[in-house]
Amino acid sequence: MDSELKQQALNWIEQDPDQVTKAQLTELLEEAQTDSAALLELQDAFLAPLEFGTAGLRGALGAGPNRMNRVTVLQAASGLAQYLVQQGFAGKKVVIGFDARYNSDVFAADTARVMSGAGLEPIVFSHVVPTPVLAFAIRHSGACAGVMVTASHNPPQDNGYKVYLGDGRQIVSPVDEQISKLIKTVTNVREIVQGDAGKKVSDEVVDTYTSLTSQLITSGPTTEAQRKSVTSVYTAMHGVGWKTLQSVFIASGFAEPIAAPEQRDPDPAFPTVAFPNPEEKGALDIAIALAKKNSVDVLLANDPDADRFAAAASNSTGDWVTLRGDQIGSLLGWWMIERAKIAGSKLSGTFANSIVSSMMLESIAKSAGLRYESTVTGFKWVSRAKNLAFGYEEALGYCVDPKNVIDKDGISAAAMFMEMLAHLKGQGKTLWQVLDELALAHGLHATDQVSVRVTSTDQVAMTMAGIRNTPPTKFGGLQVSSIDDLAIGLGELPKTDAVIIHLAGNDQIQKARVIVRPSGTEPKIKCYLEVVVRGDDLAIAQQTADNELKSLAADARPLLGGGN
């Protein structure tokens, strides 16, 4: 074993305040003397520090700088505290929330002690909370920052650390780089000044979030009788959404959803799903079975920290279909305009979505005389659209109430979706009919996604370099008309590692595009496909779009290094 690696491990053991990870690393170090698998694990744990970026920290739990543990969290908290003090926020509040993952409460408590030691005033939730409640609490409490300990929809062995500033939005560059530099100055966590555990967040904060979110619905265009008429099944995906969603729905006058009992309560092991992400194949199977059994109108789902929202409904043939993120985004965008019309007012402001989300929202917004903005990927950018009225990202993130939560919020999105269904049910219409009407008015926008899991950042870099150096001239049988490399920049968009491949249409297809980018939260390269087909016969248009999406996906897989 390399003597430097051994010394790094010994130094880590010496400063680690967690007896569990200290013992694990001591044992691993011993095993690594003779066991090659243990040595590889040790090398990976000390490969490099977890990178602090605009998404904060995220990684597997365990000892070492390349893992989520009390040492890496103390370092991150110290870097953030130093940054806030340097910005003149000494004495100001920092709100800290946590989900139900392993060690989330411990990481939150460590963060609070570091904040108070630095002269800030930490206020900590006394129980698990959804991420949007933490985002709400920042502005509501007049805090200068917020920390949410969560790994969102990552696998059970992961945890993470999201950072917000006083505007209630997640950080963007160059703030992440400034905090990251300060984190790197913390070499021994025993030298960090720690204070008391801080104050507890008042129950009034959650109550106010519930009240304001429900007022959004009760002041809307539906009657309580209409709202009560919509039946639903709900899954929290073993996360923290249920209690808050239940309170919001009751206060809004909706019938209480039937919660899937196996997935309703927080459980860090996520025992019924391989990946606790509503987008993953099979993740909604339990809830769909319950929805079928109870013949409800809709299935609603949150991811484990409840900042994302998914839905499924039965179609005209009785099959239960999970809506794509773009379909929900288009429906919510349409409904935000429609509900204002019904109330006799006109919606103002900006509709925004990320470049990897459907182009349909732009058409919906402009047809209603609204400003539209396309942003780079990440809700932190969607939330920064000027005078945001509604924003979404295809990965199930929606902002329907920016006045109160200027971040994605799976609970208010679920409530707004239910309000839309209540109105449609009163009209004798289905959401599928609305999607058809939108397709006739704006063109049928069909989307799909191909992703390949990778084992190293080198693989990501090689794939992206290959696309840039040898770009395709045809894709899915369509000619490439132009390519935008967002690493160079495009208009006012910040530079980012993504490539947009624009495709010329043909006599059947109006236009198409392919976007390739690395995932910001998982070891994946993602490819987003979109085809726009116009025509009065939607069945033919859908078949045309589906065929083209299959062709695009077939060409995308080898491009991403995933084979045919």
The residues annotated as belonging to the active site are: 152
Distance between CA atoms of residues 28 and 112, nearest Å: 30
**What is the Cα–Cα distance from 147 to 142, expressed in whole angstroms?**
14
Other Cβ atoms within 10 Å of 174 Cβ, number: 11
Query: Using an 8 Å Cβ cutoff, are 454 and 524 in contact?
Result: yes
Q: Name the DSSP class of 202.
A: P
d(CA 244, CA 318): 31
Do residues 382 and 270 touch, judged by C-beta distance below 8 A? no
Q: Which residues contact 358 (CB under 8 A, 6 or more apart)?
A: 326, 329, 330, 394, 445, 447, 530
- Tally of CB atoms within 10 A around 415: 27
Cβ atoms of residues 528 and 515 within 8 Å: yes
Any bridge partners for residue 483, and if so which? 501
Residue carrying the six token digits 């005209």: 316
- Measured between its terminal Cα atoms, the distance across the chain in Å is 40
SS3 category, 503 = strand
For the chain, what is the total number of helices (H) and then of strands (E)?
Answer: 19, 21
Q: Whole-angstrom Cα distance, residue 180 to residue 194?
A: 20
